């Protein structure tokens, strides 16, 4: 197996800076917005590591790079591609992915290897493998991770550039061209609204609004806790299994939940 670039040289400063940026909140639309996943690999790291693992280090080809200077120059050229892969807004830079694709193809004798990620999590590695056109197999033990990967990597590409099918958009946008995921997003908004309305109709009564200082307010978060029945025969209350009633102690005044005992009532 020839020695790969990743074993010899990497433009670490560029990869680190791009990866720190990738983790920042408020950088615009990003696949991480689909669902929070812990230990999600920053996309530039996944992109750079995949590329550098698939291209040979120039020292493996002394016929083409006979001197150290020639090898250094070739390493610098390959590192240049990694730097290009670490730019911002890569979804608008398809030419860079094409360049990476061609370079990988050259190093793999024209046959792209399949990338297997059995611990895919939030999907950074399969996503970045697919972008330069590598075949990918991804899986995970956790069904939530599988759903994230399925939505992002299987379903989304299938509906790319498609016209929305919901009746409202059909009526409003005759002849409009739908690019990328815009048509699917339009359908998700429409049918998501329908599901939301139906859910409110069926179970909304279990999520009442609250009165604060005489004002009726919607509750934005509900916390569910498991309960156990108190073994004291004269009590018999459903006791919440909570570690703490404090919700936030970072700012003053602290925010905490206040347990209110409700005797069993019919819902
Ligand atoms: C560190 S996370 C992977 C993060 C991923 N590289 C990303 O960028 O989002 C590790 C993943 O391994 C999964 N996992 C742990 N044990 C596993 C097992 N035995 N089989 C399959 N997946 C497993 C977890 O569910 C978790 O999603």
Would the pLDDT of 267 be above 50? Answer: no
Ligand 1 center to 142 CA (angstroms)? 8
> Are 90 and 3 spatial neighbours (Cβ–Cβ below 8 Å)?
no
CA–CA separation, 229 and 169 (whole Å): 51
Ligand 1 center to 29 CA (angstroms)? 24
> Does residue 144 have its Cβ closer than 6 Å to ligand 1?
no
Residue with CA at minimum distance from ligand 1 atom 25: 142
pLDDT of residue 261: 77
CA–CA separation, 38 and 121 (whole Å): 8
Residue with CA at minimum distance from ligand 1 atom 2: 121
112-163: pLDDT as tens digits:
999 999 999 999 999 999 999 999 999 999 999 999 999 999 999 999 999 9
Bigger pLDDT: 176 vs 59: 59
> Are 85 and 100 spatial neighbours (Cβ–Cβ below 8 Å)?
yes
5-58: pLDDT as tens digits:
999 999 999 999 999 999 999 898 899 998 999 899 999 999 999 999 999 999
CA–CA separation, 152 and 29 (whole Å): 13
The DSSP annotation for 49-78 comes to: HHHHHHSBPGGG-TTT--SHHHHHHHHHHH
Alpha carbon of 9 to those of 40, 53, 118, 230: distances in Å? 24, 11, 27, 63
pLDDT of residue 264: 61
184-193: pLDDT as tens digits:
999 999 999 9
Ligand 1 center to 120 CA (angstroms)? 6
> Are 28 and 149 spatial neighbours (Cβ–Cβ below 8 Å)?
no
> Does residue 140 have its Cβ closer than 6 Å to ligand 1?
yes
pLDDT of residue 81: 98
Residue with CA at minimum distance from ligand 1 atom 17: 141
In sequence order, the β-bridge partners of residue 215 are 212
229-260: pLDDT as tens digits:
989 888 888 888 998 889 888 888 888 888 88
Ligand 1 center to 35 CA (angstroms)? 15
In sequence order, the β-bridge partners of residue 115 are 136
CA–CA separation, 156 and 14 (whole Å): 30
pLDDT of residue 237: 83
203-212: pLDDT as tens digits:
999 999 999 8
pLDDT of residue 176: 86
Ligand 1 center to 74 CA (angstroms)? 35
pLDDT of residue 173: 76
In the chain, DSSP finds a helix count (H) and a strand count (E) of 9, 8
Alpha carbon of 40 to those of 37, 45, 120, 122, 146: distances in Å? 6, 11, 9, 6, 14
Ligand 1: atom nearest CA of 142 is: 25
Model confidence at 266, pLDDT cuts 50, 70, 90, reads very low
> Does residue 118 have its Cβ closer than 6 Å to ligand 1?
yes
Residue with CA at minimum distance from ligand 1 atom 27: 121
């Amino acid at each position: 197996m020839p020695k790969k670039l990743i074993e010899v040289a990497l433009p670490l400063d560029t990869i680190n800076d791009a990866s720190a940026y990738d983790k920042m909140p408020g950088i615009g639309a990003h696949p991480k917005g689909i669902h929070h996943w812990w230990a999600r690999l920053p996309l530039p790291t996944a992109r750079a590591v995949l590329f550098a693992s698939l291209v040979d280090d120039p020292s493996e080809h002394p016929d083409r790079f006979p001197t150290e200077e020639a090898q250094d120059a070739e390493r610098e050229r390959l590192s240049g591609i990694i730097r290009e892969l670490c730019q911002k807004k890569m979804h608008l830079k398809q030419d860079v992915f094409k360049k990476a694709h061609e370079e990988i193809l050259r190093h793999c004798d024209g046959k792209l290897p399949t990338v297997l990620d059995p611990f895919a999590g939030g999907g950074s590695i399969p996503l970045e493998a697919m972008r330069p056109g590598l075949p990918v197999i991804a899986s995970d033990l956790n069904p939530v991770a599988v759903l994230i990967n399925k939505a992002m990597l299987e379903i989304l590409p299938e509906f790319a550039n498609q016209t929305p099918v919901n009746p409202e958009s059909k009526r409003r946008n005759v002849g409009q061209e739908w690019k990328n995921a815009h048509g699917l997003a339009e359908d998700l908004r429409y049918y998501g609204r329908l599901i939301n309305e139906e859910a409110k109709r069926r179970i909304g009564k279990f999520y009442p609004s609250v009165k604060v200082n005489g004002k009726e307010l919607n509750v934005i978060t509900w916390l569910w806790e498991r309960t156990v029945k108190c073994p004291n025969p004269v009590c018999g209350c459903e006791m919440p299994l909570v570690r703490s009633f404090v919700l936030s102690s970072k700012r003053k005044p602290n925010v905490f939940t206040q347990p209110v005992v409700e005797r069993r009532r019919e819902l």
